[in-house]
Amino acid sequence: FTLDATPDTLPFADRVRLSYEAAGGNQSNTVKIIVILREPVSRELSLYNHLAFDCRRLSSTERTSWHNQVVKEDGTIMTFDEFVLGKSIPALKMEIGPGRSTRHGMYETHLRKWFKLFDRKQILALSYDELQYHPEKLQERIQTFLGCELPGGLCRSNSNENEQKILFPSVEAKEALLAVFAPLNQNLYRLLDSNPGPSVEQSPFPRFKIP
């Protein structure tokens, strides 16, 4: 197998399609695509923790503009609430510009493009909750989808448990994000329900558990 795994691919279905068409050999019609969908508020909190953790261990010269999303003008790190109100919400109001990682959580917008460019049976949508709580079942789905047995088992490789990690969003931050994401999630469920995927995909797709 040749594997490319990154959430940064999600907004660029057209580029992926063009890449596989350019490769020839009907690869654009045989490539198999797997997307794991995480509840967007939890995903945004994970993004914040990742950025904040990196910024605490990197010097100012080592940080990129991506890291500096959580850095205030005085050089201190934003709280999650400050990040949500100052970065996340503005980013969700734009189609391009700063905050692309935040907009990854607008799943319906992105998947609608993938469904137009690739046969739906080429795309397996999985639940992050199943990955977290029932990894063996998720691995079975992937193996059936790919048509092969994968050795070993899925394990938890991202176990950042530093004492400054934020475990739960505040009520204010959660409500601000849900005001945007809740209707988008409903659009996602309708999209998935009206466009059935491979037989191994959960149907109906599990509703996100709000933190």
Residue with tokens 């191994």: 200
Q: What is the pLDDT of residues 88-141, one digit of tens each?
A: 999 999 988 989 999 999 999 999 999 999 999 999 999 999 999 999 999 999
User: Cβ neighbours of residue 70 under 8 Å, at least 6 residues apart?
Assistant: 48, 51, 52, 55, 77, 78, 83, 87
* DSSP label at residue 92: H
What pLDDT does residue 156 have?
63
Q: Sign of the CA dihedral 103, 183, 194, 145?
A: positive
Cα separation, 99 vs 102, in Å, equals 5
Single-letter code of the amino acid located at 50: H
pLDDT at 157 over 70: no
